[in-house]
Amino acid sequence: MKTKLLGAVAVLGLSLFAVSGGHANTLNISTGLNSSGVVQTSGGALDANWQVTGAASPYNSPNAYVVAPGDADWAGWIPTNGPNSSWITANPYSSTANGIMTFTLTFDVSNPKFATMSGQWIIDDYGTLSLNGNLLSTNGACGPPCNIGHNDNWPGTWSTFSADPSDFVRGTNVLVAQMLASDFSYEALRLEGLVDVRGHVAFAADPPSVPLPAALPLFATGLVGLGLLGWRRKKKAAP
């Protein structure tokens, strides 16, 4: 009986810890991540998730690369990279090779009924952010047309965005940051956000995982107490 009791407690413990996890259903859609989901801040690092097309002279289309201080496409007046995201572009090694670009991220959602998305983004010079063709936000320090030669009135500011279940589709979803205006100098995108297929608000912490595992010793103590009581009764009843 003791062996069976310990086995039951062990199984219960695994179940409690499994319930308290909950991170597998959240997708980080920020720019500048590597394949492990870590933010890269070094120039020339390959973005593992985003792709970019339409650049005047891309470095290796459709790859998107982190642009950082020291790169030709880096502008000293834009917010520095990290800790949650980094700037990306088609060609970090040229200040004039990018221009009007389309940044695309695709991801899968098995149950859009409970999906949400939120975050913030910024683009140089001006553009729109859409999910499956549904406009989520606009951003930019100048509206079209922007004039050649740094007449775009930077620095720009962050714009927030969000999406509810009606913006998602079952299966492949497409998030597009479309640049609509450019002065063809120092162009890039930066976005940080989360997709949550459980319907929770993105960037919010998961429910505390301590209470469930913490209850395990008390529950186990009760089971052990019941087991000892049964053993004592059995021993007393023995001839």
Work out the average pLDDT over 151-173.
83
Is 7 part of any domain? no
pLDDT digits (tens, 9 = 90+) for 202-223: 333 333 333 333 333 433 344 3
pLDDT score recorded for residue 208: 36
C-alpha to C-alpha distance for 26 and 35, rounded to whole angstroms: 15
Per this entry, what is the length of the chain?
Answer: 239
pTM above 0.75, yes or no: no
Is 139 part of any domain? yes
Is 228 part of any domain? no
Within 21-161, residue ranges assigned H as helices are: none
Is 182 part of any domain? yes
Residue 6 pLDDT greater than 80, yes or no: no
C-alpha to C-alpha distance for 177 and 102, rounded to whole angstroms: 6
Local structure of 188: helix, strand or coil: strand
- Assess contact for 125 and 157: CB atoms under 8 A: no
Is 129 part of any domain? yes
The amino acid at residue 207 is P
Is 49 part of any domain? yes
Q: Which two tokens stand for residue 175?
A: 């998030």
The amino acid at residue 92 is P
Q: Which two tokens stand for residue 74?
A: 């880096």
pLDDT score recorded for residue 23: 43
Residues 15-18: contacts with CB under 8 Å, at least 24 apart: 16/212, 16/213, 16/215, 16/216, 17/209, 17/212, 17/213
Q: Give percent of the chain with pLDDT exceeding 70.
A: 67
Is 238 part of any domain? no
Residue 199: name the closest of 225, 228, 223, 164 by CA.
164
Residue 225 pLDDT greater than 60, yes or no: no
Local structure of 69: helix, strand or coil: coil
- Assess contact for 126 and 198: CB atoms under 8 A: no
As a whole number of Å, the end-to-end CA separation of the chain is 20
Which DSSP category does 11 fall into? H
Q: Which two tokens stand for residue 212?
A: 């469930």
- Rounded to the nearest integer, the mean pLDDT of the chain is 76
Higher-pLDDT residue of 133, 126:
133
**Neighbouring-strand partners of residue 174:** 106
Query: What string of DSSP letters covers 213-226?
Result: HHHHHHHHHHHHHH
pLDDT score recorded for residue 115: 93
Residue 130 pLDDT greater than 90, yes or no: yes
Local structure of 229: helix, strand or coil: helix
Residue 123 pLDDT greater than 70, yes or no: yes
In the chain, how many domains are there?
A: 1
Residue 156 pLDDT greater than 50, yes or no: yes
Q: Please report, for the domain that includes residue 126, its CATH number.
A: 2.60.120
- Assess contact for 190 and 155: CB atoms under 8 A: no
Is 210 part of any domain? no
- Assess contact for 106 and 174: CB atoms under 8 A: yes
Domain that residue 182 falls in: 26-196
- Assess contact for 159 and 137: CB atoms under 8 A: yes
pLDDT digits (tens, 9 = 90+) for 60-79: 999 999 999 999 999 887 88
Work out the average pLDDT over 3-26.
37
